[in-house]
Amino acid sequence: MYGFEAMTFNIHGGYLEAIVRGHRAGLLTAADYNNLCQCETLDDIKMHLSATEYGPYLQNEPSPLHTTTIVEKCTLKLVDEYKHMLCQATEPLSTFLEYITYGHMIDNVVLIVTGTLHERDVQELLEKCHPLGMFDSIATLAVAQNMRELYRLVLVDTPLAPYFSECITSEDLDDMNIEIMRNTLYKAYLEDFYKFCQKLGGATAEIMSDLLAFEADRRAVNITINSIGTELTRDDRRKLYSNFGLLYPYGHEELAVCEDIDQVVRAVMEKYPPYQSIFSKLSYGESQMLDKAFYEEEVKRLCLAFEQQFHYGVFFAYMRLREQEIRNLMWISECVAQNQKSRVHDSVVFIF
């Protein structure tokens, strides 16, 4: 269903859409990646990046660079752009933009909680958090002993609060619990985001539902693979899948009972034409390559979101693409720093 976005979209969204499309034009191209892959040292990478939009962010870094500095500065650029867009946005775009960060928020919460569980320093943990997922009282998470406290103390103030309704228990936190909490939160988040996009309607709903469905399905597959061989029961596993997406509901039933990656998961996924291509590219036993295959597919879909005008999907797509780009840069820098240049292509996903 297409609404009449073309008539009214530009009143509020036109400026930002133009901005985001301009930002997109600044994404690194295949030629850039080729050059980056040939770099010998991190300084070479810095030099190459100084000709791109990352230039101003890296130019004041003293010379012995570290991968973390590069990643940090590149992320800073993304954050700056995001903040600028958020400042300019009006409802409902601003809510949409905020939704994009909730995923990072969940990751940050999990990071801090796991970190405190293993008695890491809070400051150190805070530095590792993704800046997009920061909220005021994030450092206080360290105080919490169990899920209920976590919710009652800190998260009740954050936008994540509603997602917690399903996972409030008084059990003490442990690794397993936290992982389940992460997935439950993510499930609730994705469903909420999906609902929100449906409410927006028009091209946004159409494009975002496609992108979010892909995200949900990917998570479902990942959950399945990661939970094989653990003590998670089938019902519990089933509960972690989001209630939408291509796999919902029949694929979920089948995934829930999977016990083997190569045979069963593949068999399930190959019933769905869009995912067939992903799995057909992987030979048996290469399940660790699955991540990259999914990333490639995601990037393809995100790029397609830019083909259509007058919708909010471009913002989501842009943020995701930039994040992918930063992942790429991190991988390349790591490979260069550790002299593993032969592996450079293992995990880099070209965007254009």
Partner 1 sequence: MGDVRGGCCPPMDLFRSEPMQLVQLIIPIESAHLTVAYLGDLGILQFKDLNSEKSPFQRTYASQIKKCGEMARKLRFFKEQMVKAGFSPSTKSEARGDIDVDDLEVKLGELEAELIEMNANGEKLQRSYNELVEYKLVLQKAGEFFASAQHSAVAQQREMESRQMGEESIETPLLQDQETTIDLSKQVKLGFITGLVPREKSMAFERILFRATRGNVLLKQVPVEDPVTDPVSGEKMEKNVFVVFYSGERAKNKILKICEAFGANRYPFAEDLGKQALMITEVSGRITELKTTIDAGSYHRDNLLRTIGDQFEQWNLKVKKEKSIYHTLNMLSLDVTKKCLVAEGWSPVFATKQVQESLQRAAFDSNSQVGAIFQVLSTRESPPTYFRTNKFTSAFQEIVDAYGVAKYQEANPGVYTIITFPFLFAVMFGDWGHGICLLLATLFFIVREKKLSSQKLGDITEMTFGGRYVIMMMALFSIYTGLIYNEFFSVPFELFGRSAYACRDLTCRDASTVGLIKVRETYPFGVDPAWHGTRSELPFLNSLKMKMSILLGVAQMNLGIILSYFNATFFGSSLNVWFQFIPQMIFLNSLFGYLSLLIIVKWCTGSQADLYHVMIYMFLSPTDELGENQLFPGQKTVQLVLLLLALVSVPWMLLPRPFLLKKQHENQHQGQSYTPLESTDDTLHSEANNDSHGHGHEEFEFSEVFVHQLIHTIEFVLGAVSNTASYLRLWALSLAHSELSVVFYEKVLLLAWGFNNIIILIVGIIIFIFATVGVLLVMETLSAFLHALRLHWVEFQNKFYEGDGYKFYPFSFALLGDEDD
Nearer to partner 1, 158 or 227 (CB): 158
114 lines the binding site for partner 1 (CB under 8 A)? no
CA angle 250, 288, 297 (to 5 degrees): 60
Give exposure, 87-120, as e/b (b: 16+ Cβ within 10 Å): eebeebbbebbebbbbbbbbbbbbbbbbbbbeee
Query: According to CB under 8 A, which residues from 150 to 169 bind partner 1?
Result: 152-154, 157
Size of the site for partner 1 (CB under 8 A): 27
Least distance between partner 1 and beta carbon 266 (Å): 40
Q: Is the peptide bond before 274 cis (omega within 30 degrees of 0)?
A: no
Burial classification of residue 230, based on how many CB atoms lie within 10 Å of its CB (0-12 exposed, 13-18 middle, 19 or more buried): exposed
CA nearest neighbour of 228 among 204, 203, 193, 264: 264
Determine contact, residues 315/100, Cβ cutoff 8 Å.
yes
Sketch the per residue contact string, 48 through 87, with partner 1: x for CB under 8 A, - otherwise.
Answer: x-xx-------xxxxx------------------------
By the 10 Å C-beta count (0-12 exposed, 13-18 middle, 19+ buried), 171 is classed as exposed
Q: Judged by CB under 8 A, which of 10, 35, 52, 308 binds partner 1?
A: 35
Minimum CB separation of residue 48 from partner 1 in Å reads 6
Per CB under 8 A, the segment of 37-45, 178-186, 207-215, 337-345 that binds partner 1 is: 37-45
Does residue 254 interact with partner 1 by CB under 8 A? no
Whichever of 50 and 243 has its CB closer to partner 1, that residue is 50
Q: Minimum CB separation from partner 1 for residue 119, in Å?
A: 12
Preceding amide of 62 cis, omega within 30: no
As given in the structure block, the two tokens for residue 196 are: 């929100």
Candidates 7-15, 46-54, 89-97, 251-259; binding stretch for partner 1 (CB under 8 A): 46-54
- Residue 175 CB: number of other CB atoms within 10 A? 10
Q: Which of 94, 140, 146, 222 binds partner 1 (CB under 8 A)?
A: 140
Told to check if 47 binds partner 1 by CB under 8 A, we report yes
- Residue-wise DSSP of 177-211: HHHHHHHHHHHHHHHHHHHHHHHH-HHHHHHHHHH
Q: In sequence order, what are the residues at sequence separation of 6 or more whose Cβ sits closer than 8 angstroms to the Cβ of residue 172? A: 145, 146
Identified binder of partner 1 from the candidate list 122, 228, 282, 289, rule CB under 8 A: 122
Read off the amino acid at residue 3. G
Q: Which stretch binds partner 1 (CB under 8 A): 20-28, 41-49, 260-268, 296-304?
A: 41-49
CB of 235 to partner 1, least distance (A): 33
Contact segment (CB under 8 A) with partner 1 among 43-51, 181-189, 217-225, 235-243 equals: 43-51
User: Which residues sit at the interface with partner 1, rule CB under 8 A?
Assistant: 35, 38-40, 43-44, 47-48, 50-51, 59-63, 122, 136-137, 139-143, 152-154, 157
